[in-house]
Amino acid sequence: MVIATFRFYEELNEFLPAERRRRPFESRCARAATVKHMIEALGVPHTEVEIILVNGVSVGFDTLLRHGDRVAVYPKFEALDVTPLLRVRSRPLRTPRFIADAHLGGLAHLLRMAGFDTLYDNHFDDGEIEALASSQGRIVLTRDRELLKRRTITHGCYVHAIKPERQLRLMFERLDLSGSARPFSLCLRCNAPLQAISKAQVLDRLPASVRILHDRFSTCPICHGIFWEGTHWRRMRALLDRAMEGLAPANRPGPEP
């Protein structure tokens, strides 16, 4: 039997039992066990991991463990220069696109509000989520760690928070999304890009008060909904502002289209 010592850092500890958090601990490993196999056997989805060091050397998921190995496992770095180290995913997703599981409908709605392409259907099963994430290059958002352990899912986030607004804030912080946000550019229902439309084209569909107070409108090419910057828009704008409060000004989103 191979015995290796593991140490997990930062938020990865939240996947571990209390007695193993923020400290080295020994674990028995099957012969020919890979680093990836053991990390997930200990409860941490591979999608949460960015850097692995074995005996101080940066390695990939397929590294075989040997007796006496010391394994350090890190989440995404934000402040340290890790250029010389081997990242365990072959490439980043340059354009963040998401797929949310059935328990994260509220977060999916808020991500669309912020302008991020987010698939959501509460009838998706795990196999469909895995297939769509793989074929379309999407980041899987879930509160099911077993889903994130599926083999072909390369990018994913375990969502620790319960309330959607807090979930959104954590997504902005963890994935540095604020510079990519394009608020109110997508239909919240259809996930389709909104298109500008003239007031004259929708005049007969507007409430009387809206005809008087507003001149800018957009529409969804799928559901044909009409949108303007009214009271509901201001409430949503305030929610997004709270989600990004305190983030560096340089990373705040530009004006909406």
132 & 230 share domain: yes
Q: Which structural domain range is residue 177 located in?
A: 91-257
20: CATH? 3.10.20.30
What per-residue confidence (pLDDT) applies to 41? 95
What per-residue confidence (pLDDT) applies to 116? 95
99 & 172 share domain: yes
254 & 162 share domain: yes
What per-residue confidence (pLDDT) applies to 154? 85
What per-residue confidence (pLDDT) applies to 252? 43
What per-residue confidence (pLDDT) applies to 91? 53
Residue 18 lies in a domain: yes
28 & 113 share domain: no
What per-residue confidence (pLDDT) applies to 253? 43
169 & 123 share domain: yes
Please tell me the distance from the alpha carbon of residue 193 to that of residue 219, in angstroms, as a whole number: 9
253 & 138 share domain: yes
What per-residue confidence (pLDDT) applies to 186? 96
Please tell me the distance from the alpha carbon of residue 201 to that of residue 192, in angstroms, as a whole number: 20
CB burial class (10 A; 0-12, 13-18, 19+) of residue 157?
buried
Give mean pLDDT in consecutive 10-residue pieces for the chain, a chain of 257 residues. 93 94 94 94 93 93 95 74 56 75 95 96 93 92 92 89 93 83 94 95 92 93 93 91 70 40
Backbone angles phi, psi at 72, to 5 degrees: -110, 130
59 & 102 share domain: no
pTM, entire model = 0.75
Residue 254 lies in a domain: yes
Query: Which residue, of 42, 74, 106, is where some domain finishes?
Result: 74
120 & 25 share domain: no
Rg (CA), the chain: 22
Kind plus residue range of the DSSP H or E element containing 220? none
What per-residue confidence (pLDDT) applies to 191? 96
CB 143 within 8 Å of CB 123:
no
DSSP class of 47: G
Query: Which residue, of 47, 74, 101, is where some domain finishes?
Result: 74
